Amino acid sequence: MTLSYSDVAEIVKIVDSSNCDEVSLELEGAKILIRRKGASDPAPAQVSAAPAPAAAPAPAAASPAPESSAPVDSAAAPVSGNQVVAPMVGTYYSRPSPEEAEFVTVGTQVEVGTPLCIIEVMKLFTTIESTRAGTVKAILATDGQMVEYGQPLFVID
């Protein structure tokens, strides 16, 4: 499926008529990020090709999955390194489905583009990928937790 200019324009119209400040959409390799003026980034719309399409996961609908094996207590001493932050508000999932293993754990070596987690917003699942190579030093969210825009999720060094 390819997105035409009219498809993107229609998506922008729908978002404009809603009360959302930001919408991120990923369809078969195309990512669309739409932000209203006054939101954290002044760019009104961005369309870019994704490095690889992500498959939509099937998380548990009725009950949250078990907690991640290595979340860091927010009262603990801060871990130094580069933070990966939530690009949107939503529900954090550490695994593609409740039956599968976590994407990463503390100590996992990651490359650019390595899937780290999923954030769900209104049944739209967005895979959050690493933007740098390194080692996961800390996981700062737990499975099923609501996360805020800009909230630190991982520390990678």
86 and 152 part of one domain: yes
Domain assignment present for residue 67? The answer is no
37 and 96 part of one domain: no
Q: Give the per-residue pLDDT at 43.
A: 43
Domain assignment present for residue 99? The answer is yes
136 bridge partner residues: 156
Comparing 20 with 116, which gets the higher pLDDT? Answer: 116
Alpha carbon distance, N-terminus to C-terminus of the chain:
37
88 and 32 part of one domain: no
Domain assignment present for residue 87? The answer is yes
CATH number of the domain residue 92 falls in = 2.40.50.100
Domain assignment present for residue 119? The answer is yes
The mean-pLDDT minimum among 11-20, 69-78, 99-108 falls in 69-78
Domain assignment present for residue 60? The answer is no
pLDDT at 85 over 50: yes
139 and 92 part of one domain: yes
Domain assignment present for residue 59? The answer is no
CA distances from residue 137 to 13, 81, 82, 104, 110 in whole angstroms, order as listed: 41, 8, 9, 11, 11
Comparing 8 with 135, which gets the higher pLDDT? Answer: 135
44 and 102 part of one domain: no
Predicted TM-score (pTM) of this structure: 0.52
41 and 104 part of one domain: no
In which residue are the tokens 């490359």 written? 111
Domain assignment present for residue 120? The answer is yes
35 and 94 part of one domain: no
In the chain, how many domains are there? 2
| Parent domain of 149 | 82-156
